[in-house]
Structure 1
Amino acid sequence: MKVYDSLFIPNFTGDLRNDVNEFLIRNGHGETAEHCLKVGEESERIAVKFNEPADLALYAGYLHDISAVYPNEIRIEIARSLGIQVLPEEEIFPMIIHQKLSRQMSIDIFKITNEDVLNAVGCHTTLRKESTKLDRVLFVADKIAWDQKGSPPYLNELLAKLEVSLEHAAFEYISYLWSQREKLKVLHPWLADAYFELKTICE
């Protein structure tokens, strides 16, 4: 597809860990490559804990941020050229559409066909209404193995809630965001849906 012409796409080996790693490094995103591998490992660990398919969790973690190769300022343009629906909140804050971009790139570039993996990748930042266990595994793993310096301010509470349930852990992070929603650049509707749904489950 012409939209990917600006990217370096290596000859893939079929080993998703190596292929994602090389793709991101060769496109100038070594730090993202490191983050994706860490999230994959964390996803696998959480999946085992909650009896979810470890291999699918691992693959979703590897793939979740592959769209980092596109800078924020062109993400909306790229998304539209790929036929991805762009919500008003995503247009205001393009960073957040990277989850949808990563989902589509997983299909087009890495030839992923497993819908569970693709759907988890596609909502890993916001979660969504009627999220699956795998969605929640990746969502929580990404928040634990975050891509910033230092430790996340919510980490201890999230890890404690992870000992209760996957849903409690996901809700802990969403509640953390919800408590400061007035400061957020946008409140994504998927995140709002997830908040109210998980609130009901956890209460």
Structure 2
Amino acid sequence: MKSIYHSLVIHTLSGNVSEDIYTFLVNNKCPKTAEHCIRVGKEAGRIAARFDANVEAAEIAGYLHDISAVFPNSARIQVSRELGIEVLPEEEAYPMIIHQKISKEMARDLFQIRDQDILNAVGCHTTLRKNSTGLDKILFVADKIEWDQADQPPYLNQITQQLDQSLNHAAFAYIHYLWEQRDNLRVVHPWLRDAYYELKDLV
């Protein structure tokens, strides 16, 4: 096991991904994230069923997407470097964003996920990316619908209405919401920028 994981409480896997993720996050003092991940997994499964996609893969991606919450923002750049992850300037300036890449590595290393589609979706769930897959968009949208704050997302109606048209429309609804506020954001991640221009042309 990689040394960066030695500080974590890691239990023997049961084979039930949702239970394993929940237990892992609770044992590592992230109970709110545990609840969020379960909600996102279930929402991703619902969206996948709606669009005739792989429900199990969507649920697993949702359960896994925020497992890197066990590492605080202050540690994420160092964690990323130890895991061999490329750190972009925008991520160095705002380390919260790189948690998607760390979660991808942890899904592979700690939870034995080998499905590249699931790993890739986890790895871009915050920003999306260009040439995104259906699973990427399902997880991206599910995470925004079941966001990790106490109140209702201010963009929820736009996303749910656009979901009636397509996954592309729903994903773009959120990215457009952010894009309109880009001058006030800490950073604009290049993957988000790429996804914005690509989806803008598609929808």
Which band: TM-score by shorter chain? over 0.9
Name the structure 2 match of 1:37: 38
Verify: 1:68 aligned to 2:83, yes or no.
no
Runs of 4 or more consecutive aligned structure 1 residues displaced over 2 Å after TM superposition? none
- Paired residue for 1:27? 28
Once residues 150 and 35 of structure 2 are traced to their aligned partners in structure 1, the CA distance between those partners, rounded to angstroms, is 13
2:9 pairs with 1:4: no
> 1:15, 1:68 → 2: CA distance?
20
Measured after TM superposition, the shift of residue 68 of structure 1 is 0.1
Could you tell me how far 1:90 is from its partner in structure 2? 0.1
Identity of aligned residues (%): 57
Aligned to 2:170: 169
2:90 corresponds to which residue? Answer: 89
Report the count of equivalent residues: 202
Match of 1:57 in 2: 58
| Residues in 2 aligned to 1:177 and 1:190: alpha-carbon distance in whole angstroms | 13
Q: Distance in 2 between matches of 1:17 and 1:78?
A: 24
- Structure 2 partner of 1:102: 103
For residues 99-178 of structure 1, what are the structure 2 equivalents within 5 Å? Answer: 99-178=100-179
Deviations 1:141-181 (A, max 9, x none): 00000000110000011100000111000000000000000
Q: How far apart are residue 54 of structure 1 and its match? A: 0.2
TM-score, scaled to structure 2: 0.99
The amino acid across from 1:158 in the alignment is I
Q: Could you tell me how far apart the structure 2 residues matched to 1:51 and 1:183 are? A: 37
Instruction: Return the TM-score normalized by structure 1.
Output: 0.99
Question: Matches of 1:159 and 1:17 in 2, distance apart?
Answer: 25
| RMSD, aligned α-carbons | 0.4
Measured against aligned partners, the alpha-carbon deviations of 1:63-113 in whole angstroms (never above 9, x if no partner) come to: 000000000000000000000000000000000000000000000000100
- Quick one: distance in 1 between partners of 2:22 and 2:174? 27
**Deviation digits for residues 107-132 of structure 1 (CA, Å, limit 9, x no counterpart):** 00001000000000000000001000
3-state SS of 1:125 partner: coil
Which amino acid in 2 is paired with 1:140?
V
Task: State the SS of the aligned residue for 1:109.
Answer: helix
1:138 shift after superposition:
0.2
Match of 1:187 in 2: 188
